[in-house]
Amino acid sequence: MFKTLLLSICLCFSFSQAVIAAPAPDGFTELTKRLSPSVVNISTAQTIQIETEEVPAFPEGSPLERFNDFFGRGNNRDGRVSKSLGSGFVIDAVGHIVTNNHVIQDADLIEVTFPSGDTFEAELIGRDPATDIAVLKIDTGKDLPFVRFGDSDTAEVGEWVIAIGNPFGYSGSVAAGIISARNRDISHGSYDDFIQTDVAINQGNSGGPLFDMDGDVIGVNTAILSPTGYSVGISFSVPSELAESVVNQLIEFGETRRGYLGVRPQEVSPTLARSYGLDDTFGALVTSIVKDSPAEKAGLEKGDLITAVGGQRLESSRLLSRRIAEAEIGEALEITYIRKRRTRTANVTIERLEEQVTKEEKERRADEENNAERSVNGIYVEALSDETRAKYRIDDRIEGVRVSKVDRYAEASGKILVGDIIEEVGFEAVDSPKAFEDAVAAAKDFEAPVTFLINRGGNYIFYALTVTS
């Protein structure tokens, strides 16, 4: 430990002798006053279905009566409301707001609160899970203060930056620091190109802006690296050059429209770079070409080393996906590459990227759809998943669906109970909520009461119910 400390002191002393660092700002007061009115608090709410029949209600007038709503026994009979907090920023006078997708994902209600305390319900314009960017819109009837995107590509390591947001719900909090690194890959997705800073970013800062000293947004605060869940000085922001492109598409189309090239790239090692005649290491090595893709049509081949896209040098293979994604669909894009140590160019007509879904992913989505909770005539059922079996101690040999809720005024109320396992509907076995729904629909066509076979704690009971919907 002593040697490490001594080395650090020596390195710092040597560096200070060689480089005169730019002076730190006198403060951030004026910048904060100008920018803060455009930074907002994002609050969301999501209703969670709970099994109210299994939770006792506290009597009216009891000191514990206020907990009935919490347990879904009061006015909120459909379930408890889960809330979350994040940050966002206004980007134009008409009320478009940028935040993170994970802040608003699955929300039933999104509200935006300004530093003045004014609160508005927001409409979701579009979201992009791949980059974790979402766009909201509010209508206030007046022009709003807003901030502009800056050029993140010119931001350099060591520059001062500030973040304004709502960590842990403390609105309008300001934190300052420097850019620690660029082009970080944190295994977040295909378009990882994060700005790393040492700014104190915590829960609630997600979706908030990262400003340069000109007051321009150069990043959207998205993630932190922390073993404790609190800031340890390593935070990551989506660069504005990527975020702005996504935002513009979401506003215009309600979705992203990414470019598609059709190659599988490999990172270039120093040895590979030298073998292609390069003095330094950069670019993306093509390891395969998709048949009938734009790359194949333009004449690119396996083994080509792409060095530039649109006249802009490709510093690493990871940046290829981003450059192609941001390219104009249907337009010719110049690709510079090396083949057999000779530099060549190709004009590639970029096509739109269609979602690539594997067979396994299709099967997973189908299973998810079939096993999603469903309701018919006030009877709610859930799949007998491993988690459900473990939670309610349901034997692996039992097949069917579990009743998770029965509406109070449903015909089945008092007959079919929460926790019952429905094994057959209309004398047909059911093994998923989708199969239950289909079986009820099929039995209803006979215009007679539908027979349900119920397994209640190992005892079997038949019920015949009239199905109307």
Choosing from 132, 212, 304, 420, the catalytic residue is 132
Annotate 197-261 with DSSP letters as a single string: E-S---TT-TT-EEE-TTS-EEEEEEEE--SSSS--S-EEEEEHHHHHHHHHHHHHHSS---EE-
Q: For this structure, is 279 an active site residue?
A: no
> Amino acid identity, residue 393?
R
Q: For this structure, is 206 an active site residue?
A: yes
In 3D space, the residue among 108, 140, 177 whose CA is nearest the CA of residue 37 turns out to be 140
Query: CA 158 → CA 51, 195, 198, 239, 421, distances in Å?
Result: 54, 12, 10, 16, 62
What are the tokens at 166?
A: 């709502």
Choosing from 36, 92, 102, 431, the catalytic residue is 102
Q: For this structure, is 132 an active site residue?
A: yes
**Sign for the pseudo-dihedral over CA of 95, 96, 102, 104:** positive
40 SS3 class: strand
Choosing from 171, 180, 206, 404, the catalytic residue is 206
Query: CA 402 → CA 74, 126, 263, 394, distances in Å?
Result: 25, 35, 47, 10
Cα 44 to Cα 404: distance, rounded to the nearest angstrom: 26
What are the tokens at 387?
A: 């988690």
Active site residues: 102, 132, 206
